[in-house]
Amino acid sequence: MAVELDVFVGNTTLIDEDVYQLWLDGYSAGDAVAIRIKRGILEQTGASPDVLESDTMDHYRTFQMLERLLHSPPKLINQLLFQTPPSMQSMLIEKYYTFDEPFVREVLGKKLSKGTKKDLDDVSAKTGITLKSCRRQFDNFKRVFKVVEEMKGPLVENIQQNFLLSDQLAGDYAAVVFFANNRFETGKRKLQYLTFEDFALCAEQLIQNWTLGAVDSNVDDMDVDLDREFLQDLKDLKVLITDKDLLDQHKSLVCTALRGKVSIFNEMETNFKNLSRALINIAAKLIHTKDVRDLFIDLVEKYIEPCKSDHWTSSDVGAFLTQYTNAARALDAFKHQALWERYMCTVKSCILKMYHD
Amino acid sequence: MGEDADRGGVSSVGVAACIQRPGSYSFLFCGPWRLVQPCRQSTGPRATMPGKLKARIVAGRHLPVMDRASDLTDAFVEVKFGNTTFKTDVYHKSLNPQWNSEWFKFEVDDEDLQDEPLQITVLDHDTYSANDAIGKVYIDIDPLLSNEAAASLSGWFPIYDTIHGIRGEINVMVKVDLFNDLNRFRQSSCGVKFFCTTSIPKCYKAVTIHGFVEELVVNEDPEYQWIDRIRTPRASNEARQRLISLMSGELQRKIGLKVLEMGGNAVVGYLQCFDLEGESGLVVRAIGTACTLDKLSNAATSFLPPCSSPSKDLKEVPFSEDPNPVTHSSGPSTPLKNQTYSFSPSKSYSRQSSSSDTDLSLTPKTGMGSGSGGKDGGPLKALYRQQTQSAFEHREFPFFTLTTFPPGFLVHVGGVVSARSVKLLDRIHNPDEPETRDAWWAEIRQEIKSHGKALGCHAVVGYSESTSICEEVCILSASGTAAVLNPKMLQDCSMEGCSEHRLSRQPSFFSTGLDDASSLGCSFCHIPYDELNMPFPAHLTYCYVCRKQKVPDVLFTTIEPPLEAAITGKGCLIQARLCRQKKKTQGEANATAISNLLPFMEYELHTQLMNKLKLRGMNALFGLRIQIAVGENMLMGLASATGLYVTALPAPGGIQVAGKTPSDSSYDQHIANIQKKINDLIVKNREIYEINPPEILDELLGSPIPETRQRSRLFRSHSESSDDVPELDLSHGKKDAFVLEIDDTDAVEDIQSLLTDASTPSGFYSCNTEVMPGINNWTSDLQMFTSVRVFRLNNVTSLTSQGLNKTFSDVCENLLKTLYFKLRSMVPCCLCHVNFNVALPEDELIQVAVTAVALTFDKDQTPYIKVGTDKTLSRASAENEEQLQFTLELCMESQATQSTALFSPAKAADISESGHLQAVSPAIQTDRCSSWIEFIKQKAQTIRRGSIKTIASLDKASPLAEAHARHRSPISCATSTVTVVEMTPLSFIPGAKIIKYLGIINMFFIRETTSLREEGGVSGFLHAFIAEVFAMVRAHVAALGGNAVVSYIMKQCVFMENPNKNQAQCLINVSGDAVNFVKESDVEYASTQAQGSGLQAGNGSGDIVA
């Protein structure tokens, strides 16, 4: 006797969150059954393996049918085919769009192109995430990217409206879209220690401060591109390192403020000029797209690593950057205060996030 | 009936022709409720055009991409009714077109309105080639024709294509403007209301229950017409869908006319079926019960059903004048089935009746007996009959498709009557051939009627008809429950729909007003036939409740347990399953072979049912449905029923195993082992189902019941009949065991299978009736589902019939197990109205389809009550008499105190409040999230990356909270345009009150695919199709302004596949009643008091019967 056909359809669509997770994780129905058995569901429920298999298949079919709708969450909310309570709908959407940390670290900042998609088997092999799941996550990135790429208005809100995601997840997607659009380098070995969360915060800062939308929210420009004019202007900050007087003044102001307040005062004093040069050179170079991409690697190599080798703590870093930023205000000869604030506040936040003790 | 397979010409040309000339039916109406006979033959004056049908196409959404180049669609819509078609403009390049069309107006006559569906076709405009159809929507206009139901219809409908399934949605508005004034219009058959519900619908009261109506129409099946060879599958499917829609409309209109003729205004228990006879044609037939219903004027009063003042209401009912003495004298009875076949089985009976009909009656003891065709009872019975006859004599068939009755309507139940007939379908189109489908059914109904008579009953209730067709052989089946009804109620019964009580069964409370045995909930068990002239051998005892009347030892019925019935413990689904092989033959030989097998199958099914019933320690079956499916080389029988312990009937004896007479010791040991297992199982089952019937001392039964123990008020009317009692020998009527003889290996396996039937997992109950007696505290969470399985048997011929049986039994058991597993999060819950359908679609395929609803209930309430009233209610120790007393006290006091709580008002209030609180708190939470986004945000706040899993498990830990959230969804999900529509096979919605019936839903869909693999194989294909059918039903209900379908039923699910060609086709027919309900918690507080009293009384009685 063989089962030819076996379906169960409820008026309210039955969804088992555990099975949904297995499906999202890219397991085949057979694997999912095996995993469920391993988790002891048979003992808990007294069911037999064929019952479990039938149940798993039903869920998998439902998910496959739902997937088309999940690609456009507003459609899921208004469709008639599956009657699901709103809480379940939000769970379905949220989990479908949730991505894995190891995966996003592999893909973050890469162009969401066919080429990247082809490399997903490597990503899969490296991360241990199934290829199927990698594809779903990649396609999600790409889908969200495509929809909001050309859209006006705040990025996070756009994502939220079109994909009905939670604040948190929409923010994460904003980071993914922003990184993909600006192609920030995140994969270098030196950046490996950084988590997605670190980058997500940096992205948030950059979006809030460095994009066109940041200065003028009603311009019909978008959150995804950096403000070119601002980047152009950044070279004006060079005066802080090219003008000897300014540099010395700046140094003495910072040193005065920090004396006795940080443990690494001496190292700071010796290295001040190097550090200042590093930060300002990064700013000055940002006009080149290539250097924008290298923003994070530059911050690590030019600033974070030297500090690390001198055993700065993150509070030291915080104290220094705060004083370094503030001190420039007292320099009468320095005329680019607004520019300076816009640059330094963001860089400070990024560095602080990226500086792990 | 003939001794051989009857032949019949199929599509009676006359009827078929009618469809093509719809104008040939004309009728005039004058005066309220009077009808001029429809002139069938002549083309008399036409009724004037009654109105204008108006339709407006608003918008579309989620349309499929029809132009690959642009990834967009240029959609427009054709709106067709009858022969008139309108078109909208083309809305270019959009998947979400906004047509905002004008109102398209169709001038139509009422006949068309009833017969024709509004047909909406969405197309993609193509400048160069033919326009491509995207899909269609058929809208049944009928619900708009009744002045009480929906006035207009508007909403999003899925656009359906028979090849691609649902392809987007379309927003449509439909109105009917009536030219004639409402009064005149109401008199046309258009105004007749149809209900699938097999009880008097809530918010109506039955003025008169007129009786049986039936009709059938025949046509050629478009699938088998020559033109089908040259048209596309899509065109063929659409032709078929449209034809069936037309035929159902026509059928409904014709039945409506019959109802008007009888003076009624509604059909209740309307059951319409299709017979796909293949080459020989397509039959659409329907049966129902004609009634005159009155809408309860005040919605608020209907909400407080008679329970607020039960005594009053019920005393007015003429029931108390019922000729009780007469029925009493005719006393004894046995349950028993009475079956007939058009082909007599060759086996001889213990007693052969001389009548031409051979009745096969089965007794629990010997398994076989025989009823005599039309033997009337004693003189007293005749007297009674005289009285009741007048009510029935004008009826050709005193049948009722109802399964639940207003209190007092059902006097006695005789037992199940059924008849089957095997017919050969023939393509001979001979207009002179008198044998038509009508005649076939008439024959069977006659048969049923005579069986009812043999059981001393003048009516058959819970009546239904079905067919099973394989190639040219067709088995026609009819079954019902022979019953004695209160004749007065048929003429004028002012009773209200009472199903709302079902939630709080309160047998004794309910019927306090009656000075009659029925107040004890036992009257319906009393035998209606003459004990001295019983239609079959049976064991009679005195009723265990009233001790006055005779009752059978087992009772089988096709109806719901009567509301007033006293029931001990809980019930369960009991199934008997059977496979029988047969040779592959043709024509008459085949029909003969089948008809020879049928009696044995019925017998075996009956034996199985009886065994399983006893094994569970129960004594009555309700909702019995026996399905026989015919295949090429197999016959399958599936009997499903809900087993219960009816307090009035004697406790079932055990099952005794008897071995072969010459036996050795090891064999004896084996037998002893089996016996022990059986005994253990019975004990265990009694525990599971909480069957603790009060022990009655033996002498009590044999001797007259001491006066002191009687409540004189109660038993007053009985004193006259006490003379009739003595003759009956009760000594062996009681505890005798049912003997199973193990004389061959088959029997051993039978017993094995009996023992291996898996019990329902804890937390679950199941029944095929509407609700499970003994469970009162339903919560509002419900989940209707359909599950379909198809199995392939390998080498059927190599299997023994035992092997086949086991396979089939495993199939059903496994299916049930899967259901329990899937619904485990709803525990404690009860699967209600579990409806199995078996079919043998192909040579080695078995198809089993189940539709049921899972209802959750609150387990915690019961113990609470127990604590509160432990002394009075500790049932285990309570003697029977004590219980009776208690019952009475409960009744009287609650009468006196009306709606105040009985035991301790504070406690009762506590209960309702705590129940309330539980329901409310999660609701408040969801209420706060006024919009979808907010809701998500709120949820998201709790979900941090990585912590999702814990949240998920938390959710699972509180299924209740989620369930409630689900029900508040329309509020919390403000941005969704989708109305939540509940679907249930039950006639009610727990925790809610139906405020309006919006019309009958009767839909037929065909789905076909030529890319089966791509759609996920047969399972993927059918899964999607069933989901689509649900979606379309929900959309229609929502468009009518409803939020639920009750009495939902999937009548047909015909699935055919051809995996080699990568093709499959499926036909599904569903129906139900669209309704609008409000949650009881939303109903004004004004009703809380009464509700509280209802709840309280319900709990009390629940404990009595539990």
What's the average model confidence in pLDDT over B127-154? 82
Instruction: Choose the weakest-confidence range: B157-166, B283-292, B359-368, B1051-1060.
Output: B359-368
What is the nearest CA distance from A343 to chain B, expressed in angstroms?
30
Inter-chain residue contact B807 with A11, CB threshold 8 Å: no
Which range scores top for mean pLDDT: B109-113, B589-593, B688-692, B866-870? B589-593
| Tokens found for residue B1060 | 């080699």
Q: Among B668, B271, B623, B606, which residue's Cα sits nearest to residue B466?
A: B271
What is the nearest CA distance from A12 to chain B, expressed in angstroms?
6
Residue B982 touches chain A, beta carbons under 8 Å = yes
pLDDT reading at B377 higher than 50: no
Is the separation of the CB atoms in B193 and B65 below 8 Å? no
Which bin fits A115, alpha (ψ -120 to 50), beta or left (φ > 0)? alpha
Smallest Cβ distance to A11: which of B156, B791, B983?
A: B983
pLDDT reading at B929 higher than 80: no
What's the average model confidence in pLDDT over B741-768? 72
Residue B788 touches chain A, beta carbons under 8 Å = yes
Mutate to test the interface with A, among B815, B822, B1009 (most CBs of A within 10 A): B822
Is the separation of the CB atoms in B1067 and B1052 below 8 Å? yes
Amino acid identity at B816: L
Which bin fits B763, alpha (ψ -120 to 50), beta or left (φ > 0)? left
Residue B972 touches chain A, beta carbons under 8 Å = yes
The model's confidence at residue B982, banded by pLDDT at 50, 70 and 90, is very high
Inter-chain residue contact B1027 with A82, CB threshold 8 Å: yes
Residue B989 touches chain A, beta carbons under 8 Å = no
Q: What is the sign, positive or negative, of the torsion defined by CA atoms of B294, B300, B303, B304?
A: negative
Q: How big is the A-B interface in CB pairs under 8 Å?
A: 200
d(CA B1080, CA B780): 10
pLDDT reading at B504 higher than 90: no
Q: Among B552, B725, B559, B561, which residue's Cα sits nearest to residue B652?
A: B552
What is the nearest CA distance from B642 to chain A, expressed in angstroms?
23
pLDDT reading at A168 higher than 80: yes
More confident residue, B116 or A18: A18
pLDDT reading at B640 higher than 90: yes
What's the average model confidence in pLDDT over B841-857? 91
More confident residue, B925 or B786: B786
pLDDT reading at A213 higher than 80: no
What per-residue confidence (pLDDT) applies to A337? 87
The model's confidence at residue B962, banded by pLDDT at 50, 70 and 90, is very low
**Which of helix, strand or coil describes residue B822?**
helix
Mean per-residue pLDDT over chain B, rounded: 70
More confident residue, B299 or B281: B281
Smallest Cβ distance to A14: which of B156, B822, B980?
A: B822
What per-residue confidence (pLDDT) applies to B537? 67
- Tens-digit pLDDT profile for residues A250-304: 999 999 888 888 888 888 888 888 899 999 999 999 988 888 899 999 999 999 9
Q: Which residue has the tokens 């060079």?
A: A238
Residues of B numbered 490-529 whose beta carbons fall under 8 angstroms of chain A's beta carbons: which are they? none
Inter-chain residue contact A75 with B983, CB threshold 8 Å: no
What per-residue confidence (pLDDT) applies to B738? 56
Instruction: Choose the weakest-confidence range: B771-775, B782-786, B945-949, B1039-1043.
Output: B945-949
What's the average model confidence in pLDDT over B387-395? 51
Is the separation of the CB atoms in B274 and B244 below 8 Å? yes
Per DSSP, the residues of B405-450 read --TTTEEEEEEEEEEEEEEEEE----TT----HHHHHHHHHHHHHH
Smallest Cβ distance to B1027: which of A9, A94, A169?
A: A9
Inter-chain residue contact B169 with A47, CB threshold 8 Å: no
| Tokens found for residue B496 | 């209200």
What per-residue confidence (pLDDT) applies to B956? 37
| Tokens found for residue A159 | 């994502």
| Chain B residue numbers touching A8 (CB-CB < 8 A) | 785-787, 818-819, 822
pLDDT reading at B344 higher than 90: no
What per-residue confidence (pLDDT) applies to B548? 80
- Judged on CB neighbours under 10 Å (0-12, 13-18, 19+), B303 is buried
pLDDT reading at B1096 higher than 50: no
What per-residue confidence (pLDDT) applies to A139? 95
| Chain B residue numbers touching A86 (CB-CB < 8 A) | 932, 935, 965, 969, 972-973, 976
| Tokens found for residue B483 | 């019953």
pLDDT reading at B741 higher than 90: no
The model's confidence at residue B132, banded by pLDDT at 50, 70 and 90, is confident
Instruction: Choose the weakest-confidence range: B33-42, B803-812, B916-925, B1018-1027.
Output: B33-42
- According to DSSP, the residues that pair with B460 across neighbouring strands are B399, B482
Smallest Cβ distance to A6: which of B169, B1019, B1035?
A: B1019
Side-chain-side CA neighbours of B1103 within 13 Å: the count stands at 26
Q: Which residue has the tokens 């069911």?
A: A47
What's the average model confidence in pLDDT over B327-352? 34
Is the separation of the CB atoms in B548 and B328 below 8 Å? yes
Residue B427 touches chain A, beta carbons under 8 Å = no
What is the nearest CA distance from A49 to chain B, expressed in angstroms?
10
| Chain B residue numbers touching A46 (CB-CB < 8 A) | 761
Residue B209 touches chain A, beta carbons under 8 Å = no
Amino acid identity at B445: R
Residue B787 touches chain A, beta carbons under 8 Å = yes
- What is the DSSP-derived secondary structure letter of residue B147? S
The model's confidence at residue B1039, banded by pLDDT at 50, 70 and 90, is very high
Inter-chain residue contact B784 with A2, CB threshold 8 Å: no
Q: Among B413, B381, B326, which residue's Cα sits nearest to residue B718?
A: B326
Smallest Cβ distance to B939: which of A46, A62, A90?
A: A90
What's the average model confidence in pLDDT over B1063-1070? 93
| Chain A residue numbers touching B822 (CB-CB < 8 A) | 8, 14, 55, 58
d(CA B54, CA B139): 12
% of residues, chain A, pLDDT over 90: 55
Inter-chain residue contact B936 with A95, CB threshold 8 Å: no
What per-residue confidence (pLDDT) applies to B1090? 43
| Chain B residue numbers touching A103 (CB-CB < 8 A) | none
- Tens-digit pLDDT profile for residues B877-909: 333 333 333 333 333 333 333 333 333 333 333
What per-residue confidence (pLDDT) applies to B708? 34
What per-residue confidence (pLDDT) applies to B16? 26
| Tokens found for residue B700 | 């009590």
- Judged on CB neighbours under 10 Å (0-12, 13-18, 19+), B819 is buried
| Tokens found for residue B868 | 């509160």
| Chain A residue numbers touching B166 (CB-CB < 8 A) | 80-81
What's the average model confidence in pLDDT over B568-592? 88
What per-residue confidence (pLDDT) applies to B880? 36
More confident residue, B918 or B772: B772
Instruction: Choose the weakest-confidence range: A219-223, A256-260, B42-46, B738-742.
Output: B42-46
CA dihedral A192, A195, A200, A206 (to 10 degrees): -40
Amino acid identity at B831: L
pLDDT reading at B505 higher than 60: no
What per-residue confidence (pLDDT) applies to B533? 67
What is the nearest CA distance from B590 to chain A, expressed in angstroms?
26
Inter-chain residue contact A45 with B792, CB threshold 8 Å: no
Inter-chain residue contact A80 with B978, CB threshold 8 Å: yes
What per-residue confidence (pLDDT) applies to B490? 63
What per-residue confidence (pLDDT) applies to A9? 95
Residue in A closest to B973 by C-alpha: A86
Residue B798 touches chain A, beta carbons under 8 Å = no
Mean per-residue pLDDT over chain A, rounded: 90
Side by side, the strands of the sheet bearing B555-556 are: B555-556, B620-630, B634-646, B567-581
Q: What is the sign, positive or negative, of the torsion defined by CA atoms of A310, A316, A322, A323?
A: negative
**Which of helix, strand or coil describes residue A191?**
helix
Residue B928 touches chain A, beta carbons under 8 Å = no
pLDDT reading at B353 higher than 60: no
Inter-chain residue contact A83 with B980, CB threshold 8 Å: yes
Residues of B numbered 623-662 whose beta carbons fall under 8 angstroms of chain A's beta carbons: which are they? none
Is the separation of the CB atoms in B553 and B536 below 8 Å? no
Residue in A closest to B788 by C-alpha: A7
CA distances from B140 to A288, B109, B114, B191, B655 (A): 67, 15, 8, 15, 54
Residue in A closest to B1064 by C-alpha: A5
What per-residue confidence (pLDDT) applies to A97? 96
d(CA A31, CA A41): 14
Smallest Cβ distance to A5: which of B166, B788, B793?
A: B788
pLDDT reading at B649 higher than 70: yes
Inter-chain residue contact A55 with B818, CB threshold 8 Å: yes
What is the nearest CA distance from B161 to chain A, expressed in angstroms?
14
What's the average model confidence in pLDDT over B254-261? 88
d(CA A136, CA A144): 12
Smallest Cβ distance to A86: which of B969, B1016, B1020?
A: B969
What is the nearest CA distance from A345 to chain B, expressed in angstroms?
27
Inter-chain residue contact A77 with B945, CB threshold 8 Å: no
d(CA A207, CA A154): 9
pLDDT reading at B513 higher than 60: no
Inter-chain residue contact B1018 with A87, CB threshold 8 Å: no
The model's confidence at residue A131, banded by pLDDT at 50, 70 and 90, is very high
Amino acid identity at A268: M
Inter-chain residue contact A164 with B936, CB threshold 8 Å: yes
Is the separation of the CB atoms in B530 and B328 below 8 Å? no
| Chain B residue numbers touching A89 (CB-CB < 8 A) | 973
Instruction: Choose the weakest-confidence range: A219-228, B424-433, B616-625, B1036-1045.
Output: B424-433
Q: Among B126, B139, B11, B148, which residue's Cα sits nearest to residue B74?
A: B126
Which range scores top for mean pLDDT: A14-23, B430-439, B743-752? A14-23
ipTM computed for the complex? 0.90
More confident residue, B686 or B315: B686
| Tokens found for residue A55 | 């149940």
| Chain B residue numbers touching A51 (CB-CB < 8 A) | 814, 817-818, 821
